[in-house]
Amino acid sequence: MKSMAAPSFAPTVDWDKQTTSKAKKKPTNPVSLVLGLVLLVLIGSAIFRASHEAPTEKFVQVVTTVRDTPPGTRLGLMSLHLLAVPKRLVTSDMVTSLDYAAGSTARTYITPGEPIIRQQLFAKDTSLAASLETHERAITLQMTDEALIDHYLNPDDRVDVLCVSSNADGKKFTRTIATDARVLMCVQKNQLLARHLGNSSANMVTLAVTPDLAESVTEAADVGKIRLVLRNRLTRMEPALKGVGPDALLPASALVAEKKPEPAKTESEKATPAPPPPVVEDQAIPAAPPNPVQWMVEMFSGSHKEFYGVPSK
């Protein structure tokens, strides 16, 4: 009997052991993970700051004064300096050049440290006379705060000039003596309050008027009180004004003196009869004057001389 030999072949591979034989993955390092997160946070913060950062403020150099500058003062180079102002606050009428301001004349009071406005200055190297028209004259008046419209005047404003005076009977009368007068120099309200200026210099205003009105304003300032009335710069209509007195402000009945009633008589005064009228005595009729002398006779007796009058027939 033939014996059977056992088959020769390799043993069957176990699949579970093959999976375990594969290379294992390297575990993640926690330090590198933290560093990556920190880097992402820093990049995001930088991007956020760059997108939300405020733009850099730009400044402009404007001209101002270093001391109080009353109207009519000529500005020297040593009295000026430059002030840095944010560009968003700078207006087109602010002076930004020392060359423009040096040598100019102030039209209003200029506060030190405040930007100078072009309207506050006369043109460079020109006098007050250069700002006048050929038909104008400049006259300066000293007035009260109320007469200056409480210092709310500005250069180039237009005003009417009123005069309050009294006649021979003592009655007051108000009349407009000048119209459309141009303001040349003055002190404004904000400048007056900021620097506490005295009335001697602050209550002065310079006007541009015609020669005939200059005479009227000068006379009115000497005999009466002057008041200014502000008007619109575009107004050109001139109403016919005749002046105003007490008669125009009050009714006719207010100007008549009221008669006081007589006091009532008592009973005793009523019973007493009125005294008789005084008796007028007959006045003696003066004698007729003698006939006037017509001839004078001169008679001599020795050295003695006598005169005799001969009446006319």
Q: What's the farthest any 2 CA atoms get from each other in the chain? A: 249
Answer whether residue 8 is part of any domain.
Answer: no
CATH (domain of 70): 3.90.1210.10
CB atoms within 10 A of CB 75: 21
Answer whether residue 80 is part of any domain.
Answer: yes
For residue 165, name the pLDDT band (cuts at 50, 70, 90): confident
Window from 127-136, 156-165, 262-271, 276-285 with minimum mean pLDDT? 276-285
| Claim to verify: residue 158 and residue 78 sit in the same structural domain | no
pLDDT at 69: 86
Nearest to 194 by CA among 111, 129, 126: 111
**Residue 256 predicted with pLDDT over 50:** yes
| Cα–Cα distance for residue pair 313/307, rounded to 1 Å | 19
Answer whether residue 292 is part of any domain.
Answer: no
What percent helix, strand, coil does the chain show, rounded to 5? 30, 25, 45
Answer whether residue 269 is part of any domain.
Answer: no
**What's the sign of the alpha-carbon dihedral 121, 127, 133, 137?**
positive
Window from 4-18, 244-258, 270-284 with minimum mean pLDDT? 4-18
Answer whether 0.75 is exceeded by the pTM: no
* CB of 138 closer than 8 Å to CB of 71: no
| Cα–Cα distance for residue pair 209/180, rounded to 1 Å | 8
pLDDT at 1: 47
Answer whether residue 77 is part of any domain.
Answer: yes
pLDDT at 280: 60
- Tokens representing residue 162 in the block: 């009123």
* CB of 126 closer than 8 Å to CB of 103: no
Answer whether residue 40 is part of any domain.
Answer: no
| Claim to verify: residue 114 and residue 190 sit in the same structural domain | no
Last residue of a domain, one of 207, 229, 246: 246
Q: Of residues 265 and 85, which shows the higher confidence score? A: 85
Answer whether residue 13 is part of any domain.
Answer: no
Q: Could you give the 3-state DSSP secondary structure of residue 122?
A: coil
CB atoms within 10 A of CB 47: 10
| Cα–Cα distance for residue pair 73/67, rounded to 1 Å | 12
| Claim to verify: residue 193 and residue 232 sit in the same structural domain | yes
* CB of 83 closer than 8 Å to CB of 61: yes
Report the domain count for the chain.
Answer: 2
Answer whether residue 223 is part of any domain.
Answer: yes
- Tokens representing residue 215 in the block: 């005479």
| Cα–Cα distance for residue pair 112/52, rounded to 1 Å | 38
| Claim to verify: residue 199 and residue 151 sit in the same structural domain | yes
| Cα–Cα distance for residue pair 17/25, rounded to 1 Å | 17
| Claim to verify: residue 104 and residue 146 sit in the same structural domain | no
| Claim to verify: residue 114 and residue 147 sit in the same structural domain | no
| Claim to verify: residue 76 and residue 170 sit in the same structural domain | no
pLDDT at 20: 52
**Residue 65 predicted with pLDDT over 60:** yes
**Domain hosting residue 113, numbered range:** 59-120
Tell me the average pLDDT across 108-115: 87
Q: Of residues 79 and 199, which shows the higher confidence score? A: 79
Tell me the average pLDDT across 5-10: 52
How buried is 153 (Cβ within 10 angstroms: 0-12 exposed, 13-18 middle, 19+ buried)? buried
